[in-house]
Amino acid sequence: MLVLGIDPGLRFTGFGLIDEKFKVVGHGIIKPRGESLAEKLHSIYQQFNDVLQEYSPDVAVVESTIYYRNVKTALTLGAVRGILLLGLQQNGIRFFEVSPTKIKLSLTGVGRAKKEQLEYMVKKILSLKEDISSHESDALALSLWFLKRKKHAVFS
């Protein structure tokens, strides 16, 4: 089983793939091209579909929306999440959504852990030597959460 974790963002969308043996298969960042929101969304959509075609994940885990005080930021992030979910649906990939707090609690023991703490745990669990961005780390954390939970429960 190949699990794709997705950390949505308009500036950077992180992705990370881990197999059932907890081996990192791939990770990276999608950086949108274009000036307008429509151009950026289209770019993210195309690049995301390229990732799906290259790796053919069995399941995906997407970071759920966190609440923002800035309405414009929340709406933009919602648009990015929408095109990512559309890509998953069009490719027949089952997906789950999970909050950042739940991921942090699962991997660090603290629901409000700092990004650096989560990145440290991801690198330690996966024995990663190279530096990775916080977006890639968050995406790999999503995949880890799924695989960790899968060992103890059945997802429907």
Segment 41-83, tens digit of pLDDT: 999 999 999 999 999 999 999 998 766 667 888 888 899 999 9
For residues 10-20, give the mean pLDDT.
Answer: 96
pLDDT higher than threshold 60 for residue 114: yes
What are the two backbone dihedrals, phi and then psi, of residue 13, each rounded to the nearest 5 degrees?
Answer: -110, 115
CB 62 within 8 A of CB 6: yes
Give the pair of three-digit tokens for residue 46: 């195309």
Structural domain boundaries, residue 105: 2-152
pLDDT of 108 reads 85
How many independent structural domains does the chain possess? 1
Report the CATH number at residue 77: 3.30.420.10
- What is the reported pTM? 0.92
Going by C-alpha positions, the residue among 7, 34, 2 that lies closest to residue 20 is 2
Cα–Cα distance, 156 to 78 (Å, whole number): 25
